[in-house]
A and B are shown apart, each in its own frame.
Chain A
Amino acid sequence: MPGHRRGRSLSEGLMLEESEKGGLVVSSVIGGSSGNHGLKEGDEIVGATINFDQLSKDDVLKILKLMDDNGFDKKVQVLTKNNLSKSMGTLDSIKAPEEMLKDSYNSLYNAKINRFMKDDSPGQPAGAWERGSHNGQLASSFSGEDALPSNLRIPSNLVDRARAERPPPPSDSSLPVLRRCDAAVPVHLSPVQTWVETLERRDSKQLGLVDLHPDVFAVPTRIDILHEVELWQRNFKRISRAHTKVRSEVRGGGKKPWRQKGSGKARHGSIRSPIWRGGGVSHGPRGPTSFYYMLPMRVRVQGLKIALSSKLAQDYLHVVDTLNIPTPDPQYLMDLIRYRHWGESVLIVDVGEELPENILQATESLKTVNVIPAIGLNVHSMLKHEVLVLTLEAVKFLENKLLWHDERFTLLYPFKLPYTDLP
């Protein structure tokens, strides 16, 4: 049979022959091989799928009429949109269930998991691999020495992609150190460093580096102390006002309901006893109860230090020179946060009673971005917000206040009275 032109997609020169069984076989391919869908010599053409997506109504009618005229309507299956979405999009897609499962698994594997396999392409974000971390690496149990132990491997849905976009400064960074530690750093430790950024422009580069005192920003992490401080913060202010009436407080019930003997009923002394419906509660909540307690001052201070250290260690701490932003528009802040891949919620801390008006206006309407003075810094807020942003003055203030507790005597008299060395 002579070759039929099949339009633009198939090139000229596809010679077909009828095989012995009665099917169509490609006898030879002439012309460019790129246009004929990978058909080679000897391929048996079983069917064809025509996608009507971009054809006009007239064209569709022409094709269907062609089918109809030539009596092929029994071999034609018309698919509606619903059919297409249910099936895999092709006519021939009736596969065995196991095969379909394998297909879906393969597609999922290729999409999500393959990227983290060790010998992957260099399409990974550079920051994650520079530090040599193994975020979300999946390796079999027979993999070898480099794989993380199973309790430290993180499933891929918990890995924070945005964190890889903002690596900490390398040790040989050429930017100037804008602030050194005021207090003396212990001899066996060295200050930790992080960038100093600005909020002036969305895409401004880092201004320099800042030295942070290790006894405040690089304290060993104690999640149990954070837990204790968080519980304390929730409960010490709690006053539960639940109150129930005892049998003596419920109205009525002074008189013996019926005589002790002879009535045939159970013996009772009062209609408000706890056994009775409408009677008092025996052991219910009694009045406003206070759950006030104070954790030792040093535990609360240590909680703050651990929270700051963990924010810095996990790259959620940013230092900013001032809080001056060009517009009071909240959208500017959201754009900046988006652009710099900071995270979902930001807690901004500054020192002093008067904060710049622009930032106050901008954050007033925003729910996830909040500004607080440095005295208001607390563990709950730090853990609730993903990112913590400190100004240079806030860093100085916090270091001053938090380091004082390391080297002080026990208090003789309350804090409110003057101390010569109180910061």
Chain B
Amino acid sequence: MSFTRKPGGKALDILQNLPRISLANLRPEPGTKKAEKKRGRGQHGGNRSGRGHKGERQRGNRPRLGFEGGQTPFYLAIPKYGYNEGHSRRAQYQPLTLNRLQYLIDLGRVDPTQPIDLTQLVNGRGVTIQPQKRDYGVQLVGEGAGIFAAKVNIEVQMASEEAIAAIERNGGMVTTGFYDPRSLAVLCKPVPFFISGQPIPKRMLPGEDMVPYYTDAANRGYLADPEKIQKARIALAQKYGYILPDISKDELFHMLSMIKDPRQIFFGLSPGWVVNMAEKKILKPTDDKLLQYYSS
């Protein structure tokens, strides 16, 4: 049907008639290696060696960066204001557009028949999360709401109203959940964590400032009341003008209604368990105190 190209093409044909490629024949692509200018040598690198003529420039005695000859420099003349105060301590949420989510589902990198978690997104290389850089997770952004057409059960850390509406319009479920930095690191890279042999930690509850966000049904928070969430779904459907599909009659209802416990990091694994990857075993604690701690 299609034209079968010869593998390697004309290059290999020409190669058959040329001498053997050996250590003596190798050379870089002409033009890639430009010889550097050695200072103090030759017509162009020598003489003043690129330092200019006399003065502080040639003698290497220029004043510090920002000095303006005595005039109050710019960085001192402008008054301070806390624009960037505490910027390195602010929480960051990597955006995930609905366009990108649809792209990942279409290419098969994320499986919509299973609950979509941050682990699944990272495994499919959909988002890149750096827990060490004050990333607190992923936020769902409404760009591409018009073309989104996948029924998914997705769990993110923040979600915009438009994104929630788009997902629920297609018969899916959105939940927002909080992960403290250590749990987030475990969630993003589970394999290195399991190899370290530590028991799965319990997820910490959000800080004071984020509790109102996660207890609000409008954000589909994981700490909110389920009844209020149902009411919020209906209200959102009315606001955006679509009929809310009844997911209880859906064949994937069980999968769509899977939600994690507030202290749980992985579906199917409880805090306190140790996963042995080499022997493919799970070890569970038996001590009372440990059980009490992990189930609190």
Contacts and interface: CB of A to CB of B under 8 A. Distances in A.
Interface of A: 131, 133-135, 148, 152, 154, 158-160, 187-192, 214-215, 218-221, 223-224, 226-228, 230, 309-310, 313-316, 380, 383-384, 386, 409-410, 412-413, 417-418
Given A218-B7, A224-B28, A417-B191, A412 B17 contact: no
A188 B22 CA distance: 30
6 contacts: A131-B16, A154-B19, A158-B19, A159-B19, A221-B15, A386-B22
Nearest to B29: A224
B228 interface: no
Interface in B137-189: 189
Contacts of A380: 23
The 8 closest A-B pairs by CB, nearest first: A214-B7, A218-B7, A218-B8, A227-B26, A224-B29, A313-B12, A189-B7, A313-B15
A414 to B, nearest CB: 9
Contacts of A221: 8, 11-12, 15, 21
Given A221-B11, A227-B27, A309-B12, A188 B192 contact: no
B15 A219 contact: no
A267 to B, nearest CB: 20
Nearest to A413: B192
A135 B28 contact: no
B16 A314 contact: yes
A133 B25 contact: no
B4 A417 contact: no
Given A192-B7, A383-B21, A417-B195, 17 more contacts: A134-B17, A152-B18, A189-B5, A190-B4, A192-B8, A220-B8, A220-B9, A220-B11, A221-B12, A223-B27, A310-B15, A316-B20, A383-B22, A383-B23, A386-B20, A410-B125, A418-B191
B248 interface: no
Given A190-B4, A223-B26, A133 B16 contact: yes
Contacts of B29: 224
Interface in B1-47: 2-9, 11-12, 14-23, 25-29, 32
A13 to B, nearest CB: 59
A223 B19 contact: no
A380 B17 CA distance: 22
B122 interface: yes
A206 B191 CA distance: 48
B243 interface: no
A22 B224 CA distance: 138
B278 to A, nearest CB: 8
Chain B residues touching A, range: 20 to 34
Interface of B: 2-9, 11-12, 14-23, 25-29, 32, 122, 124-125, 189, 191-192, 195, 277
Contacts of B22: 383-384, 386
Contacts of B26: 223, 226-227, 230, 383
Contacts of A230: 23, 26
A313 B8 contact: yes
A314 B15 contact: yes
Contact of B21 (A154, A192, A223): A223
A220 B12 CA distance: 7
A226 B14 contact: no
Nearest to A212: B7
A188 B11 contact: no
Contacts of B20: 160, 314, 316, 386
Contacts of B4: 188-190
A413 B189 contact: yes
Contacts of A412: 122, 189, 191
Contacts of A133: 16-17
Nearest to B22: A383
